[in-house]
Amino acid sequence: MKLLLTTRVSPHNSNVVESRCYVVKQFLTLFLHGASENCNSQSLKEGACVHCPIIKVGLQHDLYLNNNLLSLYAKCFGVRHARHFFDEMPHRDVVSWTTLLSAHTRNKHHFKLFRGIALPNVISWTSLIAGFAEHGLVEESFWLFAEMQAAEVQPNSFTLSTILGNLLLTKKLHGHIIKSKADIDMAVGNALVDAYAGGGMTDEAWAVIGMMNHRDIITNTTLAARLNQQGDHQMALKVITHICNDEVKMDEFSLASFISAAAGLGTMETGKLLHCYSFKSGFGRCNLASNSLVHLYSKCGSMFNACRAFKDITEPDTVSWNVLISGLASNGHISEALSAFDDMRLARVKLDSFTFLSLIFACSQGSLLNLGLDYFYSMEKTYHITPKLDHHVCLVDLLSRGGRLEEAMGVIETMPFKPDSVIYKTLLNACNAHGNVPPEEDMARRCIVELDPCDPAIYLLLASLYDNAGLSVFSDKILKLMRERGLRSRPRQCWMEVKSKIYLFSGREKIGKNEINEKLEFLITEIKNKGYPYQENEDKLYHSEQLALVFGVLSVPTSAPIRKNKNSLICTHCHSFIMLVTQFVDREIIVRDRKRFHFFKDGQCSCRGH
């Protein structure tokens, strides 16, 4: 040790210095190796002693020595000291990072693996980044990413998905981009948009898009598809404007996303414009766009157009047929849905689990109990498709609509899935519709406590069941519980598209003086004068649906049907109100509620009171 300490750096004789440094370096390396192999309090002291001569001989910039010293610190002093030393190191390389990582994770295997690689490539960088992220070391993980970019190693899709799979990392990356004011790499930008929009953080996604100097069709399609997933179809349609501004060409994926958005909203006019675009740009030949057109028209309640769009498909695939069958079923064309299924089999197109979901749904809508049961049991036996939870929900719906409540409950008890709140809601809805006895208290408790204590719909359903059975004590109890838990029912909304603009009617509005209310009052007086049985709403407020109906009568041309969409089930009061109105107002009114379509004409509805 003394020998080392006497070594001095002389600026006048560089050759001597170099050779001395070499010897010193070799010695120190050997020494450090020895110390860290037999890690004890003695070696700690020795390690600390070595640190000084390193600085004295001017070797503090030597990466190799520093890495060895870091390893000693990590092994003997613990992570905190190692981290401190690491921060002081003038240069760091992958070995430094892995040493620190291994100190953090004690993952020797990982450490050795990376150390053997002389020039780390994108895969080794990424696995290291992922290693840090997995252990919650967000800072370190992000530093590594920055270091990787500094080393001019381009991140691949796995690197990006690693970073963006972690929300904290995503935010750090975003912040880093803002700070550096550099142009965002398109792949990084697109991945950021995907991560934010997928996590429901739409504002952040828009902010990233605003910062990108270059955007391509993937940027826009990603955003539109994610917005659709979140149910924000209106915003998804707005992405079209951005595509026009960016002067990028729409592809079949983006077109399909926009058509889905129009379908989600049930906006026929916008949908038709997209149909025209699809035809003119030659996307009519690709199934992705064509299938979404069939879906669009079914969702707008126009099976005539949906069938025409289906006929335009040269080679319908499984999705095309599925969309057609489920469209026919939800529009109440039950026998057409069933014969479409026969045609699908004749065309030898592969059936899948969704085909059967639509079929059983069709049977349940058409009260075809036995046929529905046949389809359900043939799934596994004949077609080797295992029924999923959704199919069991449909089966419960089928059985309970047919009045076989005990069997329906049996399905819930014996099915190989944990029942969810949807299946219980289906059962309760059926009980409600049939005026059946409410379920025993035990089941009510299970519905509320175990399944989805945050879903107000279950509380309301149960309360109304008990009410109808004359057990208002129970219903009061349930409503009280709901209030205590701070739950409120989702605002009921009703919307319609007039001249490509969407009008929203929400909640229950106070009776005021404006054109719509006056017309509504006029209609109600008319109904009463003609001697029809009209009952005031129990809460003396107009429902959003009534207001939307009047708005439609006033603003939609008389030749066209009035199309309305609802986010909940249509209430019985509004249902009978619309039936009465169509008795003396010669209009066709189409309402799409959460579950199905109602076509009102001449005082009748296609659902026949379902």
Closest to Zn ion by CB, 404 vs 595, is 595
Minimum Å distance from CB 333 to Zn ion? 15
> How many Cα atoms are found within 13 Å in the side-chain-facing hemisphere of 425?
14
Closest to Zn ion by CB, 191 vs 605, is 605
Minimum Å distance from CB 606 to Zn ion? 6
x-or-dash pattern for Zn ion, window 504-543, by CB under 5 A?
A: ---------------------------------------x
Decide if 494 contacts 506 (C-beta within 8 A): yes
Torsion of CA 420, 425, 428, 430, to 10 degrees: -120
Alpha helices in 135-249 (DSSP H): 138-150, 157-164, 167-180, 186-198, 202-211, 217-229, 233-246
Task: Scan for tokens 């429902």, then name that residue.
Answer: 543
- Burial label for 217, CB within 10 Å (0-12, 13-18, 19+), is middle
Decide if 130 contacts 93 (C-beta within 8 A): no
Say whether residue 574 binds Zn ion (CB under 5 A): yes
Minimum Å distance from CB 528 to Zn ion? 18
Closest to Zn ion by CB, 250 vs 579, is 579
Sign of CA dihedral 121, 124, 127, 129: negative
Element (H, E) at 283: none
**Contacting residue, 571, 576, 588, 595, with Zn ion by CB under 5 A:** 571
Backbone phi, psi, residue 12, to 5° = -85, -20
Closest to Zn ion by CB, 358 vs 365, is 365
Minimum Å distance from CB 558 to Zn ion? 22
Minimum Å distance from CB 546 to Zn ion? 7
The identity of residue 35, as a single letter, is A
Kindly state the number of chain residues that form the binding site for Zn ion, as judged by CB under 5 A: 7
Closest to Zn ion by CB, 160 vs 605, is 605
Closest to Zn ion by CB, 250 vs 550, is 550
Minimum Å distance from CB 538 to Zn ion? 10
Closest to Zn ion by CB, 487 vs 571, is 571
| DSSP character at residue 143 | H
Closest to Zn ion by CB, 256 vs 549, is 549
Which CA distances in Å does 591 have to 167, 266, 567? 41, 10, 11
Minimum Å distance from CB 545 to Zn ion? 5
Which CA distances in Å does 103 have to 73, 89, 98, 294? 9, 16, 8, 58
- Long-range contacts from 607-610, C-beta under 8 angstroms, 24+ separation: 607/332, 610/365, 610/433
Decide if 191 contacts 205 (C-beta within 8 A): no
Subset of 234-273 contacting Zn ion (CB under 5 A): none
x-or-dash pattern for Zn ion, window 541-560, by CB under 5 A?
A: --x-----------------
- How many Å apart are CA 405 and CA 410, to the nearest integer? 8
From 155-163, 237-245, 569-577, 580-588, give the range in contact with Zn ion by CB under 5 A.
569-577
Minimum Å distance from CB 365 to Zn ion? 11
Minimum Å distance from CB 600 to Zn ion? 7
Say whether residue 569 binds Zn ion (CB under 5 A): no
- Vertex 551, ends 606 and 329: CA angle to 5°? 25
From 59-67, 160-168, 280-288, 601-609, give the range in contact with Zn ion by CB under 5 A.
601-609
Q: Which residues pair with 503 in a beta bridge?
A: 496
Sign of CA dihedral 200, 201, 203, 205: negative
Backbone phi, psi, residue 503, to 5° = -110, 130
Closest to Zn ion by CB, 142 vs 542, is 542
Minimum Å distance from CB 610 to Zn ion? 7
Minimum Å distance from CB 506 to Zn ion? 12
Cα–Cα nearest to 532, from 465, 578, 471, 598: 578
From 46-54, 283-291, 344-352, 602-610, give the range in contact with Zn ion by CB under 5 A.
602-610
Say whether residue 607 binds Zn ion (CB under 5 A): yes
Closest to Zn ion by CB, 115 vs 601, is 601
Closest to Zn ion by CB, 282 vs 507, is 507
Token pair of 302, please? Answer: 């126009």
Minimum Å distance from CB 572 to Zn ion? 8
From 14-22, 181-189, 335-343, 570-578, give the range in contact with Zn ion by CB under 5 A.
570-578
Please provide the DSSP assignment of 533-554 as one string: -----TTSSEEHHHHHHHHHHH
Closest to Zn ion by CB, 442 vs 536, is 536
Subset of 581-600 contacting Zn ion (CB under 5 A): 598
Binding site for Zn ion (CB under 5 A): 543, 571, 573-574, 598, 605, 607
